[in-house]
A and B are shown apart, each in its own frame.
Chain A
Amino acid sequence: MPVTPQLRCCDASGCRSAGGQALRRALEEARDAAGLTAEALAIKPVGCLRLCGSGPLVACDGPGPSQLFGGVAPEHAGALIAASVAANDGSAAVSDDPLAAHRLDLSDPFFALQQPVVLEGCGQVNPESIDDAIAFGTYAQLHRVLQELTPEQVRDEVRRSGLRGRGGAGYPTGLKWDTVALQPPGPRYVVCNADEGDPGAFMDRSVLESDPHRLIEGMAIAAYAVGAERGFVYVRAEYPLAIERLRLALQQARSRHLLGNHIDGTSFNLRLEVRVGAGAYVCGEETALLLSIQGQRGMPQPRPPFPAQSGLWGAPTLINNVETFTAVPAILRQGGHWYAGIGTEHSKGTKVFALSGAVVNTGLVEVPMGTPLRTVVEVIGGGVPDGSPIKAVQTGGPSGGCIPAERLDTPVDYESLLELGSMMGSGGMVVMGASTSMPEVARHFMGFSVNESCGKCVPCRAGTVQLAQLLDRFVEHRATPADMERLDALCQMVKVTSLCGLGQSAPNPVLSTLRWFRHEYEAACREPAACVAAGGVER
């Protein structure tokens, strides 16, 4: 970690919308006014400093431990400069600290319990400077891989790490890479899924805005490992700053010959391009995404063939999520065994979560897999702002479910969340307090699925509409015992008969709330007692 005096100002979109850019300008002016040069005190734009809910955030580095400030306005600039000077010349802190209310405690569990691997450079490097990224060590693993390792050795290392796909399904990454690499000779593609459509998820956005070079390095290593010479990053259009930074980073990497022909003086060539989505959630599904890259409607296709066998233009295509690729450089640097030593038996490594909803600390959290959900939402997240108990935690977005308070001691890993009728999903965690009604939440998600169904298969297209109408009856307290039964049955039908993951998982929010909060559905009937009785007969 650098000890040169510097102020790191979050310049990701969250802090930007809270006035981060004006603050940085004010800091530069205040530094000049204090007669300091940029060498004496660097003011550096960086990516996400994690606690998004308290932005704009500024970190102050010096010889001692770093300090973090939140919710700072331009008028605090002078005091911040003074604080950083004091931290650097060792003078005692002023007794009447004008920044007291803005100091964030870095020893708070929110920060202390995090284990940055994917987010290592996030908040440290200037996302718009390749020099800064390189100084931080980015591209060192690409260099080493190209000079010292065969593609097989790279894949071995990734397989050893136990890394599983972070886009939701958790497919073993090493296995997927092998499948692509071992297809018959011919062109291959690498694709990064940066469509991040789950409401409540902002991990990928933060990585793209904060450390795009790390993602490019991970993708380049993957391309080398599977023998691809061309690739795409598919980013949703709703993320303009992420797109801008990624485009800039690609340009910089090309100009340094880290992309293009004969990378690092070897025979390895790679061309990477950005493709921007156009607002269709279903395009996060891999087969739909590949069609969208090819300029078509994003309609999911039956698998097999899997993209690894036949993807873009019929060629074997490796598709991984942003976080999956971004974890790769650290795995190669520290070794697969190191990564596999973090987490649980079947879910290795760390996972980034986006904490939001009824929780004190909202922002980005990277913790080892297997961390109890309670630790994430109560200890790290700080629980519900008014101190009342948590009612449920929603994970997995519209494909996931609501985990009730009594199951908060569950370790967060792929299998445990599935057992609870939810899923890991991409990493969004929305905390819900007592005031949130579960049938309403289920209706909310069903509305989302109705809107986002691509319309290709009937169970999803029409079934979600039916489910939404049924849920309306509960929300409006006019449901009957028969509706309760229809709800169960229709959920099963849509789940079993839909073509792609969107339809298959659309009933999950209903099923999980029915499972854990059935009493709320019963209470939402026109004659609650009748519904309770009906439910009783069934059981």
Chain B
Amino acid sequence: MLHACRALLTVAAAVASKSWWETIAMTPSAPASTDPRIAQVIRRHGARADALIEVLHQVQELHGYLAPEVLREVATGMGLPLSRVHGVASFYHLFRLEPPTAHRCAVCLGTACYVKGGAQVAARIEQRLGVRLDDAAGDGVWALQHVSCLGACGQAPVLVVDGELMTRLSVDPPEALDARLEAAGLPQRTTT
């Protein structure tokens, strides 16, 4: 049995794909003008290799995401191989390698939220915005992603809309949920 499982696994290993785990192809881009703020961030951390994650956080805050040329600049500035910088940036879920949409929702699908109807909240938002869960491109303006617990489980189910935490959403009746979503500024893109 174990042997059979192993064979199964080898196949699965080849097809298993995870959006965050796949290395993102580095498209060569035109040499962008360098951003002096990046050098500043690096200097503030004394260019120490162990500060890479902190530097990436701060650079992402400045640029909204970590574009290939930005990663290159960080690598040069910190004296690290680009492969190391890219490896770290692509490993962590919170680093974005693609430009984010202007508006973002994050619905919690952690256990407590799941038990309290988090999946229904997600489905309702997908329907409302006409986007797919965890499709970073969304509709170009709005995107919906999932998170796996925000530590607000006592007020489940929860949702973050553009950085604002919304708690104790009620999924029943759906109109009540719609009213909360409406109030949070989520447009009704599709007819339900």
Checking B5, B113, B115, B168 against A432 with a beta-carbon cut-off of 8 angstroms, the contacting residue is: B115
Residue of A nearest to B80 (CB): A295
Checking B10, B13, B94, B166 against A237 with a beta-carbon cut-off of 8 angstroms, the contacting residue is: B94
Q: Does B8 contact A (CB under 8 A)?
A: yes
Q: Which of B34-42, B97-105, B152-160, B180-188 faces chain A?
A: B152-160
- B154 pairs with A463, CB closer than 8 A: no
Given contacts A397-B111, A490-B5, contact A465 B167 (CB under 8 A): no
CA distance A436 to B119 in the complex (A): 13
Given contacts A18-B167, A493-B2, contact A295 B154 (CB under 8 A): no
- B153 pairs with A354, CB closer than 8 A: yes
Q: Does A14 contact B (CB under 8 A)?
A: yes
Give the 10 A-B residue pairs with the shortest CB-CB distance, closest first: A199-B110, A52-B154, A278-B92, A279-B93, A279-B94, A295-B52, A199-B149, A356-B112, A356-B153, A462-B12
Residues of A in contact (CB 8 Å), total 71
**Complex contacts, A433 vs chain B, CB 8 Å:** 115
Q: Does B54 contact A (CB under 8 A)?
A: yes
- B148 pairs with A451, CB closer than 8 A: yes
- A458 pairs with B9, CB closer than 8 A: yes
Instruction: A278-B53, A451-B20 are known; give 14 further A-B pairs, CB within 8 A.
Output: A17-B166, A17-B167, A55-B155, A276-B53, A277-B92, A278-B95, A279-B92, A280-B93, A295-B48, A356-B154, A362-B156, A430-B153, A451-B148, A459-B9
Checking B20, B88, B155 against A295 with a beta-carbon cut-off of 8 angstroms, the contacting residue is: B88
Q: Does A197 contact B (CB under 8 A)?
A: yes
- For the complex, would chain B's binding face be called helix, strand, loop or mixed by DSSP majority? helix
Given contacts A238-B150, A451-B148, A465-B12, contact A394 B111 (CB under 8 A): yes
Checking A196, A295, A448, A455 against B151 with a beta-carbon cut-off of 8 angstroms, the contacting residue is: A196
CA distance A238 to B113 in the complex (A): 16
Interface-central residue, B16, B20, B116, B151, by most chain A CB under 10 Å: B151
Residues of B in contact (CB 8 Å), total 55
- B151 pairs with A280, CB closer than 8 A: no
**Complex contacts, A493 vs chain B, CB 8 Å:** 2, 5-6, 9
Interface residues of B in 1-55 (CB under 8 A from A): 1-2, 4-6, 8-10, 12-13, 15-16, 18, 20-21, 48-54
Interface-central residue, B21, B109, B149, B154, by most chain A CB under 10 Å: B154
Residue of A nearest to B87 (CB): A297
Residue of B nearest to A397 (CB): B111
- A363 pairs with B154, CB closer than 8 A: yes
**Complex contacts, B168 vs chain A, CB 8 Å:** 18, 53
Residues of A within 8 A of B (CB): 13-14, 17-18, 52-53, 55, 196-202, 205, 237-239, 275-281, 292-298, 354-358, 362-364, 394, 397, 428, 430-433, 436, 441, 444-445, 448, 450-455, 458-459, 461-463, 465-466, 485-486, 489-490, 492-493
- A463 pairs with B149, CB closer than 8 A: no
**Complex contacts, B116 vs chain A, CB 8 Å:** 357-358
**Complex contacts, B158 vs chain A, CB 8 Å:** 17
- A197 pairs with B88, CB closer than 8 A: no
Checking B8, B113, B115, B151 against A239 with a beta-carbon cut-off of 8 angstroms, the contacting residue is: B151
Q: Would you list 12 pairs from A and B whose C-beta atoms are within 8 A, ordered by A residue?
A: A53-B155, A238-B147, A275-B53, A279-B95, A295-B53, A296-B52, A397-B111, A428-B111, A428-B112, A441-B114, A492-B2, A493-B2
- B56 pairs with A238, CB closer than 8 A: no
**Complex contacts, A486 vs chain B, CB 8 Å:** 5
Q: Does B128 contact A (CB under 8 A)?
A: no
- B54 pairs with A205, CB closer than 8 A: no
**Complex contacts, A275 vs chain B, CB 8 Å:** 53-54
**Complex contacts, B16 vs chain A, CB 8 Å:** 461-462, 465
Residue of A nearest to B114 (CB): A444
Residue of A nearest to B106 (CB): A238
- B18 pairs with A280, CB closer than 8 A: no
Interface-central residue, B18, B56, B166, by most chain A CB under 10 Å: B18
- A448 pairs with B148, CB closer than 8 A: yes
- B111 pairs with A466, CB closer than 8 A: no
**Complex contacts, A428 vs chain B, CB 8 Å:** 111-112, 153
- A278 pairs with B93, CB closer than 8 A: yes
Given contacts A17-B165, A428-B111, contact A202 B94 (CB under 8 A): no
Checking A13, A358, A453 against B115 with a beta-carbon cut-off of 8 angstroms, the contacting residue is: A358
**Complex contacts, A436 vs chain B, CB 8 Å:** 115
Residue of B nearest to A274 (CB): B54
- B152 pairs with A14, CB closer than 8 A: yes
CA distance A453 to B12 in the complex (A): 14
Residue of B nearest to A236 (CB): B151
CA distance A450 to B148 in the complex (A): 12
Given contacts A239-B151, A356-B154, contact A430 B50 (CB under 8 A): no
- A292 pairs with B53, CB closer than 8 A: yes
